[in-house]
Amino acid sequence: MLRLFKYLKPYTIPVLAVFAVVFLQCMADLYLPTLMSDIVNKGITNGDINFILQTGLSMLFVALGGSVCAIAASYLSSHAAMGMGALIRDDIFEHVSEFSLNEFDKIGTPSLVTRSTNDVTQVQMVVILMLRMMISAPIMMIGGIIMAVSKDRGLSWVIVAVIPALVAVIVTVAVRGFPLFRSIQKKIDKINLVLREGLTGIRVIRAFNRVDDEKRRFEEANLDLTTVQIKVNRMFAVLIPVMMFIMNFTTIAIIWFGSIRVDRGTSNVGNMMAFLQYAMQILFSLLMASMMFIMLPRAQASALRINEVLDTVPEIRDPAAPRRPDEGKKGYVEFRDVTFHYHGAEVPALNGVTFSALPGEVTAIIGSTGSGKSTLISLIPRFYDADSGSVLVDGIDVREMAQDELRSRIGLVPQKAVLFSGTVASNVGYGCGGSCQDDVAEAAETAQAVEFISAMKDGYDSTIAQGGTNVSGGQKQRLSIARALVRKPEIYLFDDSFSALDFKTDAKLRAALRAKTGDSTVIIVGQRVATVMDADRIIVLDEGKIAGMGTHRELYASCEVYKEIVASQLSEEEIA
């Protein structure tokens, strides 16, 4: 929690102003009972109407001043706390955007969402409370005690007797509350997770008639959260009456023993009334401070979760002294004995992979599902780092290059085509940061997308829904290919990008690609032999290892795994 206070730094002036107005407000509050006791003791006893009116007027002004200060304190503390929250959210977002895929896997997207919204809100709320209580609670408590004792020393034992009882109640609640608050945040994560899955997977859920199961899953998570929240509220439900009981009991004690003293003539009514008010102020400030101690554990639990995100050091970072490849060396991709494990996986997804892809050539990768093709592709733009061995682009290890520099050389078409909400043109133009609208049509042409784009209502300005849900799988793939083409990179990576296309479009697209990619390096991952057979080099992957490398003819003659794949797909004539 303390660490997060550094985000208050830009708000130093509002914070100091809060302290100042809160101080003034406390002074006003402490002064009022004294004025009142003056009215009783000097005004009423002597029948001095003028004094009563004068002092009454002063009371009115002091009360008014106190209210103005209270409003100002509210305004300034909200301003500072909300600003602080915005800065924290900014920082989380900025930090998370540097995460590698490993870190996303570790913390989980739903939890990241809760942490940057709900958890920040918890911290904001307690900061508002803190800004106001930090100054007012000690002043009201100490000031109140001094003033009360000065009014009637003989009654002060009542306060001394009550405070330990109050503190005991507060500590009990705070101690019992902390684990509950921690688990509340976890359960909100869970609700987020179920909700996200339920919403994004709605088609599958409906198709498999699992709507009721999803409902049940949500209800379970919801009930889980509700139960803990009820527990917390039950605690508060007990707390408030107990506090009120203590306060009322104090009032009775003061009036009881006070009136005995007034009767004996050792005190007077004005002092007794002032003492009563000071006692209430002391207990009330203690109560407010206790609210802070109760909220603090919850904010602390949230702060820990926020710090966990901020402390996660992304595994993939730019090197201190990035190297730039030679100008002349373009489009070289080389794997040297690369081995890679996913976090927590027992078997390596890639094992001793060595190959090179050269400019102007097409390198194809084929293998059964789960053989590590996508993994191999994702090591080139450095989404993950190899465990051992090295991946070189243009003769330099990708770990020694700046990530921007590296990725600017690559046009990636991921296995799962991702489109953003916007238009066809904005999605294709995404490849070059939107600065190359002239090339969009050309790229669409190569990607065989023109036909369906012109059939859409507004052509290139047709809207694409979030996630590209209003175009078909094959259309999505073609747009995503066009997006890579528009970038005109040195290295093209096509991860299973032709799988949703029919054979004819697939063949046309690859022919157009060959003409366009020129002396760029092209790496194509494919499932279909027809897609890869005319490549300059085919790499056969099997359980993360290279089972064979060469042209179609060479492999068909020598590589068993390749032969099996071919036999399962092509007829005898096609093979020949």
Which residues of this protein are in contact with Mg ion, per CB under 5 A?
373-374, 415
Rounded Cα gap, residues 180 and 445, in angstroms: 59
From the CB of 492, what's the least distance to Mg ion, in Å? 16
CB of 535 to ligand ADP, least distance (A): 17
Q: Is 109 in the site for ligand ADP (CB under 6 A)?
A: no
Among 360, 370, 434, 473, binds ligand ADP (CB under 6 A): 370
Does residue 346 bind ligand ADP (CB under 6 A)? no
Compare residues 102 and 117 and give the one whose CB is closer to ligand ADP.
102
With binding defined as CB under 6 A, does residue 250 bind ligand ADP?
no
The separation between CA 295 and the C-alpha centre of its own chain, rounded to angstroms, equals 22
Q: Which residue number, 342 or 452, has a Cβ lying nearer to ligand ADP?
A: 342
Q: Among residues 345, 455, 515, 576, which is the contact residue for ligand ADP, using CB under 6 A?
A: 345
The answer to whether the beta carbons of residues 136 and 25 sit under 8 Å apart is yes
Residues 79-108 that bind ligand ADP (CB under 6 A): 105
Q: What is the Cβ-side half-sphere exposure of residue 462, based on CA atoms within 13 angstroms?
A: 16
Selected range binding ligand ADP among 6-14, 136-144, 372-380, 405-413, rule: CB under 6 A? 372-380
Contact residue for ligand ADP among 302, 375, 427, 448 (CB under 6 A)? 375
Phi first, then psi, for residue 517 (nearest 5°) are -75, -15
Asked if 229 and 184 count as a contact pair (C-beta separation under 8 A), the reply is: yes
Nearer to ligand ADP, 104 or 256 (CB): 104
Strand, coil or helix: what is 469? coil
Q: At what angle do helices 118-151 and 269-311 cross, to 10 degrees?
A: 160
Q: With beta carbons less than 8 A apart as the criterion, state whether 335 and 375 touch.
A: no
**Comparison of 21 and 386: residue with beta carbon closer to ligand ADP:** 386
Q: Which is nearer to Mg ion, 301 or 391 (CB)?
A: 391
> Residue 375 binds which one of Mg ion, ligand ADP, none, with CB within 5 to 8 A depending on kind?
ligand ADP
Say how many residues make up the chain.
576
105 vs 461, beta carbon nearer ligand ADP: 105
Smallest separation, CB 509 to ligand ADP (Å):
20
Q: Which does 345 bind (CB under 5 to 8 A by kind): Mg ion, ligand ADP, none?
A: ligand ADP
Query: Integer distance in angstroms from the first to the last C-alpha of the chain?
Result: 71
**What is the rounded distance in angstroms from the CA atom of residue 237 to the CA atom of residue 414?**
54
Distance, CA of 440 to CA of 428 (rounded, Å) = 6
What gap in Å lies between CA 483 and CA 417, rounded to an integer? 11
Q: Judging by DSSP bridges, how do beta strands 333-340 and 350-357 pair with one another?
A: antiparallel
Q: Three-state SS for 314?
A: coil
| Of residues 58 and 415, the one with the C-beta less far from Mg ion | 415
Kindly tell me which residue out of 369, 435, 568, 571 binds ligand ADP, with binding defined by CB under 6 A. 369
User: Under rule CB under 6 A, how many of the chain's residues touch ligand ADP?
Assistant: 12
505 binds ligand ADP (CB under 6 A): no
* Half-sphere exposure of residue 372: CA atoms within 13 angstroms, side-chain side: 24
Write out 253-281 in H/E/C secondary structure: HHHHHHHHHHHHCCCCHHHHHHHHHHHHH
Minimum gap (Å) between residue 369 Cβ and ligand ADP = 4
Task: Give the Cα separation of 237 and 332 in Å (integer).
Answer: 69
Phi first, then psi, for residue 521 (nearest 5°) are -90, 135
372 binds ligand ADP (CB under 6 A): yes
Q: Choose the contact partner of 372 out of Mg ion, ligand ADP, none; CB within 5 to 8 A by kind.
A: ligand ADP
How far apart are the C-alpha atoms of 507 and 569, rounded to whole Å?
16
Contacts of ligand ADP in 347-366 (CB under 6 A): 349
From residue 261 to residue 280, the character string flagging contacts with ligand ADP as x (rule: CB under 6 A) and all else as - is: --------------------
Interface with ligand ADP, residue 342, by CB under 6 A:
yes
Binding residues vs ligand ADP (CB under 6 A): 105, 342, 345, 349, 367, 369-375
